[in-house]
Structures are given as structure tokens and as C-alpha cells.
Structure 1
Amino acid sequence: MSKAAPSVPDTPQPEDASIEDRLYTVKYKDSGESHLGIEVPGICAETCTTYECTNVCPADVWRAEEGGVPTIAYENCLECGSCRFACPHGNVEWEYPTTGNGVSYKHG
């Protein structure tokens, strides 16, 4: 007796999927607390003019706001760490979410 193949949800094909479609395949288990932050908000507001953290993030987690201090939508984070390396002031707080939380990928 043959076993039925498990049901697999539709997944965007890489050759025609938008970034938004690809990000939709990433699951995030929210711990309720952000694993991202800004060490000294004044540095962003008074010193930063290029906002690399907002430009480098592939998931649009960091968003520039009026007043110069970015807002952070940590629930969308892919945990790539690009933001901490991109900040020329070393002003990004970044750590992995607590055990059992964070991003999980469907493929790869």
C-alpha cells in the first residue's frame, strides 16, 4: 500500500516571485520582545545623515522617521545582521531572539 504524498502549500517560484512573495514564505515566532534596538537614540537624531540601517535591510524592518530615530518592526526580521554592520556609528543593538523564537525558513 503506497503512502499519500504530504500536502505542500503553493510556494512562489524563484524566477517570477517578488521580494514580498519570497518574504511571505518566512515564518517568525514572536517572543513579545524586540531583539533589535538603538543604543543611543541621540546618535541617530543628531549625527546620522545616511541611515544605512534602513537602506541595507532586505525585509524593510528599519524605517526612517521624522526626528531621525528609525522605527523597528522586529517581527519581520530575517536575522541577517546587516543592520549592525551597516551602521557606521555602531549604534545598533542586535541579538538572536530567545530560544525557540525568531525566524524559521520553509525552504533551505
Structure 2
Amino acid sequence: MDDYTEVSFEDRMSTVDFQVSPRAHIVVDSAVCRSCTTQECVTACPADLFVPTADGGILFNYEQCFECGTCYLLCGKQGAISWTYPDGGDGVTFRQG
């Protein structure tokens, strides 16, 4: 039987590198988001990068995105999220801890 060793969040994050691209690989259309009543992206993003704005829109900070695609898969509003891969060499890199 394998032993499971608990790893702290800080230790897990120390194995993640982000090479921030000048081009956002995810673009959120706040105008479309304003008509969304559920805003699944806010609660589903594992990096907590979606922030509701006072006017009902969404602000997205792509700089520490894990590129998991959860937001894109869960979003039910056509055109709210445009998702592409980061340019070569940019984005997230996971290292062995």
C-alpha cells in the first residue's frame, strides 16, 4: 500500500512556473458576462482568477492561469470566453517537486 504524504499548497505552488506572455490567451467579454446569472467561472477556476465587477461583468487575470480550460468548458454564454493556447514557451510549466 502506498503512503500518501500531504503536501502544503505553498510546496505545490513552488513547482509551478509562469512565463507571462504579453498576449492574453484567455479573453473575457464582460458585456456578455453581464447577462450571466450563474458566473460559474468565478467559483470553478482553481487559480481564482475570475473576479466579478460592480457592473456585473467579469475581470480575468491571465498571468497565473493553469491553462486547465475549466472556465471555457463550464461557461454557458456563447462568446463570453475566448480561449487559445499561449504562444510557444509562454504560460504555465509544472516541474517535479
| TM-score with structure 1 setting the length | 0.75
CA contact (8 A) 2:18 2:63 kept: yes
The separation in 1 between residues aligned to 2:14 and 2:40, in whole angstroms, is 24
Q: What is the aligned partner in structure 2 of residue 41 from structure 1?
A: 30
For 1:24 and 1:57, the matched residues in 2 are separated by 19
Alignment equivalent of 1:51, drawn from 28, 31, 39: 39
Query: Could you tell me the TM-score, scaled by structure 2's length?
Result: 0.83
Q: How does 1:19-98 map to 2 (within 5 A)?
A: 20-38=10-28, 40-45=29-34, 47-90=35-78, 91-98=80-87
Residue type of the partner of 1:37? V
Report the residue type matching 1:103 in the other structure.
V
- List, as ranges, runs of 4+ consecutive aligned residues in structure 1 with deviation greater than 4 Å: none
The alignment's C-alpha RMSD in Å is: 2.0
Identity within the alignment, %: 37
Name the count of aligned residue pairs.
93
Q: How far did residue 21 of structure 1 move?
A: 4.4
Q: Aligned with 2:31: secondary structure?
A: helix
Cα distance in 1, alignment partners of residues 75 and 11 from structure 2: 27
